[in-house]
């Protein structure tokens, strides 16, 4: 990025097209300048300037920002739709093709166009109307320190169409937004974007979107939130019903008891008190209730303060009352009408009389959030209680009365799976126990959020059927015996996943993950900022942990530091031998930062441990076949975590040695020690617990079963292979580069090979697989071609080789030896851009010209089109193209590099690789990943 400064006169400047990659700042200074640019920031300065974006055919990703941070003393006004700006110096600029603007530090007023726009707010007063399109506001820095999301207070309207943003870092800053879809902050390296609707809260929705009006409440003569008594009565006869008499009947005794129970519940958590009046006394309550035949509704009611004496009256339809019990449609309809009678409105404009300026976001317009919604859950469940938003709104109107203030244990049973319920708990140390669920649960302890528990009577997994009221804090959570998602809140939580492969996120606070067995029953690893805890029996679960500060086992509790994360390790050692190696490397420290120290020595052997992690373990006793020792990993700055090394001792082992050549070594059905020595060896341990050392060369361990029948973990520089079926025992591998199973292969080198290569080259190689074969690559192929590129082959040379290979499988790839340039371009468009119909006429003509004049070869053309596809990212029309390619790359990387996979059969590699790639869409990569058919929790390779 360079600063290009023009003169103080009238300049006419056109950016050289070769500088479009530089993202320069062009300063017009004084004078009525004409500035044309392909990219970058253009600051017109004083004068009536013309700022024009020059589009490039086939490169729609470029952007010019009309910038006004050059110190102008006045207010900046930019209208991208109309194409003009007031520059703060007294001038009026003309904007041509400009879709982005940056303001000054004092006051800005931005208006968007019908397209996607980007705005950069200043540190003062900002007003932004994005109008149409997907519009983004970039939030400012207030100092040399990058801002964080927590630095801003973002209050979004109930319809998500407007917002006000302020900051604790400056009382001068405010941004008033309308028709803006997203906010962005930049930390100096990474841009983080969040949708505006992510900042909506249930409390705001309740207060701003569910209350009819402050005059429509029973305590209207007092301040909002004041306690009040409301009388109610059941209409006894039609003559006193005020005209609502068609098929009139009074509430039955059972129905009256249900209503009384609802009123009792309301009086327990709000300031509402209810007094029943018997209408046989000649008196009537403020809220009167009766049943009549209604043609087009399940019930009707009147708001407080409206309809004269009928204010608060409720009429239920005859059919709605046929089954009046918690969790039924009729019960929900009554809660809905009672909500109106207490001052709550519809979520959206439903009835003819509804004219609400703002309607609640559709994501929250469901009965699991409020009984005032008419959108019922697809699982067929109905509310049995008031929902989150209702409770917040009623407490706002009538005050809060604390309920369930002692320690509470909430055991979720089949009744919770049959209804929508909301938990209100205002004190104590509380627990939710979801052990009884027949399916995995998704439990969220954040107040106002929803959870999913159990299976309905129709056998459908319930969705969002359990809420926790705003202000209710639940400390502890127990999941099911299956695969769960458990999310904590802002306090200190204890989260128990039990069995299953659980995802546990503690959120804020000092959170503890609870494990029911002792420490030695689990294997701890770390990677990608997460902690992984796997049951060592291979069947009791594999948990992924985020934001967890403590691990509690039945015999001890480990407190996790903020850094210095490592892993447990497993060794298989033959009696009478010594094993040396290196403990697992830290997942977040470099080699020079990590410090290792022995905490607890082994019992059956001895270990020498150096501070860099190098160890030597020697067996001293043959009294048992297992041992362990504990070590700490530290960053030397106060962060220390501890891990264990589990040692399996082979008391009797059969030794098989290879030679300096490439050997095919076969073990026995007992425990074997196999040494491949030099050469590219095949090592098949057979049954038993085998220790295989490949030695030099590219060595492969061979297994008779399918990959899905095994579990693979890494400990330092060695791997442990567990047979889930017990057929092949537990093997320990060192200096082995590949695993071969009956159906698939695992390349243990690919990630380290890929890590040493330029990231762009690895991605381009993956993209070439997509472009020429429309399939995910295999790990062995990635290792080979990365090596070829490291040895000097260019991307275009590899592309030409791929084209030749594609011709050999023309029935699958679509490439042929004598195909025309047009046919070639069409196939690339199908594979890369997801265009089943091939290239459009403009693109076809453009690329044919490039091939014809020799500026592109078929190999280089693929790379150019790939670059173009990526640059569609964020485009409102063609953004799906980049999303599709990104998802194909993500799936391919996961398959070939993250998991190191390939297929044992060449035909399977083509067939299944193309099936996986074909399942990728612009919005979905998970379906394709599921086609791999492997439980990734069983592959801990790195």
Q: What is the pLDDT of residue 770?
A: 83
Q: What is the pLDDT of residue 869?
A: 78
Q: What is the pLDDT of residue 818?
A: 83
Residue 239 confidence class, pLDDT cut points 50, 70, 90: low
Q: Report in angstroms the alpha-carbon separations of 187 from 25, 63, 88, 143, 170.
A: 21, 21, 28, 12, 18
Q: Strands of 360-516 (E only): list them.
A: 409-411, 421-423, 431-433, 442-444, 450-451, 466-468, 476-478, 485-487, 494-496, 503-505, 512-514
Over residues 777-786, the pLDDT tens digits come to 999 999 999 9
Q: What is the pLDDT of residue 240?
A: 62
Q: How large is the average pLDDT for residues 105-125? A: 97
Is residue 243 over pLDDT 80? Answer: no
Q: What is the pLDDT of residue 295?
A: 83
8-state DSSP, 925 = S
Distance of CA 75 to the CA centre of its chain: 40
Residue 374 confidence class, pLDDT cut points 50, 70, 90: very high
State the virtual CA torsion across 527, 529, 533, 539 in degrees, nearest 10: -60
How many angstroms separate the CA atoms of 887 and 928, rounded?
Answer: 10
Q: How large is the average pLDDT for residues 222-245? A: 84
Q: Report the range of poorest mean pLDDT among 652-661, 749-758, 834-843.
A: 834-843
Q: Report in angstroms the alpha-carbon separations of 838 from 827, 833, 879.
A: 7, 9, 17
> Which helix (H) or strand (E) covers residue 647, if one does?
strand 640-650
Going along the chain from its start, the domains and CATH numbers come out as: 3-200 (no CATH), 205-398 (3.40.390.10), 409-559 (no CATH), 569-650 (2.60.40.60), 654-742 (2.150.10.10), 752-933 (no CATH)
pTM attached to this predicted model:
0.72
Is residue 510 over pLDDT 60? Answer: yes
Nearest CA-CA partner of 80 in 45, 60, 58, 53: 53
Q: How large is the average pLDDT for residues 27-56? A: 96
* Residue 205 contacts residue 249 (beta carbons within 8 Å): no
Residue 378 confidence class, pLDDT cut points 50, 70, 90: very high
How many angstroms separate the CA atoms of 192 and 221, rounded?
Answer: 48
Nearest CA-CA partner of 901 in 715, 784, 777: 777
Mean of per-residue pLDDT scores for the chain: 92
Beta bridge partners of residue 494, listed in sequence order: 476, 512
Over residues 174-225, the pLDDT tens digits come to 999 999 999 999 988 888 999 999 999 999 999 999 999 999 999 999 999 9
Q: How large is the average pLDDT for residues 647-656? A: 81
Q: Report the range of poorest mean pLDDT among 326-330, 346-350, 471-475, 715-719.
A: 715-719
How many angstroms separate the CA atoms of 487 and 484, rounded?
Answer: 10
Residue 62 dihedral angles phi and psi, to the nearest 5°: -70, 155
How many angstroms separate the CA atoms of 222 and 594, rounded?
Answer: 65
* Residue 625 contacts residue 650 (beta carbons within 8 Å): yes
Over residues 147-182, the pLDDT tens digits come to 999 999 999 999 999 999 999 999 999 999 999 999
Is residue 81 over pLDDT 80? Answer: yes
Q: What is the pLDDT of residue 625?
A: 75
The residues, any chain, with a CB within 8 Å of residue 212's CB and separated by 6 or more, are 303, 340, 343, 344, 345
How many angstroms separate the CA atoms of 31 and 52, rounded?
Answer: 16
Strands 182-186 and 136-138: parallel
Number of H helices, E strands in the chain: 16, 61
How many angstroms separate the CA atoms of 457 and 438, rounded?
Answer: 12
CA atoms within 13 A on the CB side of 27: 12
Is residue 857 over pLDDT 90? Answer: no
Is residue 276 over pLDDT 70? Answer: yes
Own/partner pairs for 302-305, CB < 8 Å, 24+ apart? 302/340, 302/341, 303/212, 303/213, 303/216, 303/340, 303/341, 303/343, 304/216, 304/217, 304/218, 304/220, 304/341, 304/342, 304/343, 305/215, 305/216, 305/217, 305/220
Residue 865 dihedral angles phi and psi, to the nearest 5°: -65, -35
Beta bridge partners of residue 278, listed in sequence order: none
The residues, any chain, with a CB within 8 Å of residue 614's CB and separated by 6 or more, are 580, 581, 582, 583
Q: What is the pLDDT of residue 245?
A: 67
Over residues 303-338, the pLDDT tens digits come to 999 988 899 999 999 999 999 999 999 999 999 999
940 vs 271, more confident: 271
Q: How large is the average pLDDT for residues 572-587? A: 88
How many angstroms separate the CA atoms of 23 and 31, rounded?
Answer: 23
Q: Report the range of poorest mean pLDDT among 202-216, 397-411, 853-867.
A: 853-867
Q: How large is the average pLDDT for residues 248-270? A: 97
Nearest CA-CA partner of 317 in 247, 226, 234: 247
**Strands across the sheet containing 700-702:** 664-666, 682-684, 700-702, 738-740, 744-747, 901-903
Place of tokens 């996943």: 497
Q: What percent of the chain has pLDDT over 70?
A: 99
Is residue 651 over pLDDT 80? Answer: no
Nearest CA-CA partner of 390 in 329, 323, 431, 341: 341
Q: How large is the average pLDDT for residues 409-435? A: 97
Strands 287-292 and 228-234: parallel
Beta bridge partners of residue 289, listed in sequence order: 234, 314
Q: What percent of the chain has pLDDT over 90?
A: 71
CA atoms within 13 A on the CB side of 932: 29
* Residue 478 contacts residue 432 (beta carbons within 8 Å): yes
Q: What is the pLDDT of residue 534?
A: 95
Q: What is the pLDDT of residue 241?
A: 56
536 vs 390, more confident: 390
């Amino acid at each position: 990025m360079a600063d290009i400064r023009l003169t103080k006169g009238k300049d006419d400047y056109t950016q050289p097209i070769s500088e479009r990659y530089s993202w320069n700042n062009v300063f017009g200074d004084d004078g009525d300048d004409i500035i044309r640019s392909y990219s970058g920031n253009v600051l017109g300065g004083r004068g009536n300037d013309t700022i024009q974006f020059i589009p490039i055919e086939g490169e729609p990703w470029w952007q010019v920002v009309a910038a006004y941070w050059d110190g102008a003393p006045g207010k900046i006004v930019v209208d991208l739709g109309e194409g003009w700006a007031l520059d703060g110096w007294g001038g009026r600029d003309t904007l041509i093709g400009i879709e982005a603007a940056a303001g000054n530090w004092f006051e800005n007023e931005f208006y968007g166009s019908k397209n996607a726009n980007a705005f950069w707010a200043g540190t003062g007063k900002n007003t932004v109307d994005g109008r149409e399109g997907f519009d983004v506001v970039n939030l400012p820095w207030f100092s040399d320190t990058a801002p964080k999301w927590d630095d801003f207070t973002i209050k979004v309207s109930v319809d998500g169409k407007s917002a006000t943003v302020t900051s604790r870092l400056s009382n001068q800053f405010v941004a008033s937004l309308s028709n803006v879809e997203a906010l962005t902050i930049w930390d100096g390296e990474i841009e983080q974007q969040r949708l505006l609707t992510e900042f909506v809260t249930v409390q705001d929705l309740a207060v701003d979107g569910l209350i009819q009006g402050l005059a429509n409440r029973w305590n209207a003569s007092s301040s909002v939130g004041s306690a009040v008594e409301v009388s109610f009565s059941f209409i006894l006869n039609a003559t006193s019903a005020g005209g609502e008499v068609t098929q009139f009947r009074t509430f039955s005794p059972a129905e009256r008891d249900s209503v009384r129970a609802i009123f009792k519940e309301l009086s327990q958590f709000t300031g509402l008190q209810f007094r029943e009046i018997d209408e046989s006394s000649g008196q009537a309550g403020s809220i009167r209730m009766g049943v009549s035949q209604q043609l087009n509704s399940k019930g009707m009611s009147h708001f407080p303060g409206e309809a004269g004496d009928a204010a608060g009256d409720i009429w239920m339809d005859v059919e709605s009352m046929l089954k009046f019990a918690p969790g039924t449609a009729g019960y929900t309809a009554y809660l809905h009408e009672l909500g109106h009678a207490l001052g709550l409105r519809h979520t959206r404009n439903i009835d003819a009389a509804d004219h609400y300026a703002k309607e609640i976001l559709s994501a929250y317009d469901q009965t699991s959030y409020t009984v005032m919604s008419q959108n019922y859950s697809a699982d067929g469940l109905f509310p049995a209680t008031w929902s989150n938003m209702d409770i917040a709104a009623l407490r706002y109107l009538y005050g809060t009365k604390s309920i369930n203030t002692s320690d509470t244990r909430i055991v979720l049973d089949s009744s919770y799976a049959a209804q929508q319920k909301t938990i209100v708990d205002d004190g104590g140390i509380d627990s939710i126990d979801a052990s009884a669920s027949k399916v995995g649960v998704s439990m969220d302890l954040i107040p106002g959020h929803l959870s999913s528990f159990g299976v309905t009577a129709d056998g459908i997994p319930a969705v969002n059927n359990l809420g926790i009221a705003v202000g209710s804090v639940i400390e502890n959570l127990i999941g099911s015996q299956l695969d769960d998602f458990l999310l904590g809140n802002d306090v200190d939580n204890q989260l128990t996943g039990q069995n299953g492969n659980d995802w546990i996120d503690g959120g804020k606070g000092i959170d503890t993950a609870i494990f029911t067995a002792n420490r030695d029953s689990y294997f701890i690893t770390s990677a990608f900022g997460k902690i992984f805890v796997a049951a060592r029996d291979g069947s009791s679960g594999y948990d992924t942990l985020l934001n967890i500060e403590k691990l509690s086992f039945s015999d001890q509790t480990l407190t996790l530091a903020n850094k210095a994360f490592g892993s447990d390790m497993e060794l298989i050692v033959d009696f009478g031998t010594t094993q040396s190696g290196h403990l697992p490397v830290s997942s977040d420290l470099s080699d020079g930062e990590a410090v290792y120290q022995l905490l607890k020595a082994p019992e059956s052997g001895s270990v020498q441990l150096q501070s860099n992690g190098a160890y030597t373990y020697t067996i001293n006793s043959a009294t048992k076949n297992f041992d362990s020792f504990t070590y700490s990993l530290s960053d030397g700055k106060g962060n220390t975590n501890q891990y264990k090394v589990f040692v399996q001792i082979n008391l009797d082992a059969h030794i098989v040695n290879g030679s300096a050549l490439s050997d095919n070594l076969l073990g026995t059905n007992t425990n074997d020690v196999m040494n491949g020595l030099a050469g590219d060896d095949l090592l098949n341990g057979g049954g038993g617990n085998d220790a295989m050392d490949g030695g030099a060369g590219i060595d492969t361990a061979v297994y008779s079963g399918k990959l899905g029948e095994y579990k693979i973990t890494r400990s330092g520089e060695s791997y442990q292979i567990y047979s889930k079926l017990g057929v092949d025992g537990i093997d320990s591998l060192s200096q082995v580069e590949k695993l071969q199973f009956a159906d698939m292969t695992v390349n243990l080198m690919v990630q380290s090979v890929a890590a040493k290569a330029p990231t762009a080259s690895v991605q381009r190689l993956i993209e070439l697989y997509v472009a020429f074969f429309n399939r995910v690559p295999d790990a062995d192929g990635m290792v080979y071609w990365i090596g070829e590129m490291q040895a000097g082959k260019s991307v275009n040379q590899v592309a030409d080789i791929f084209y030749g290979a594609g011709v050999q499988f023309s029935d699958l790839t679509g490439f042929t030896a004598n195909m025309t340039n047009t046919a070639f371009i069409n196939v690339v468009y199908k594979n890369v851009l997801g265009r089943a119909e091939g290239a459009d006429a403009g693109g076809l003509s453009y690329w044919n010209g490039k091939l014809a004049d020799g500026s592109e070869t078929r190999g280089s053309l693929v790379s150019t089109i790939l670059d173009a596809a990526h640059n569609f990212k964020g485009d409102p029309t063609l953004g799906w193209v980049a999303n599709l390619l990104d998802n194909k790359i993500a799936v391919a990387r996961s398959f070939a590099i993250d998991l190191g996979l390939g297929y044992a059969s060449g035909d399977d590699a083509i067939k299944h690789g193309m099936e996986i790639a074909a399942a990728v869409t612009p919005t979905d990569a998970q379906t394709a990943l599921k086609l791999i058919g492997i439980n990734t929790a069983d592959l801990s390779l790195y």
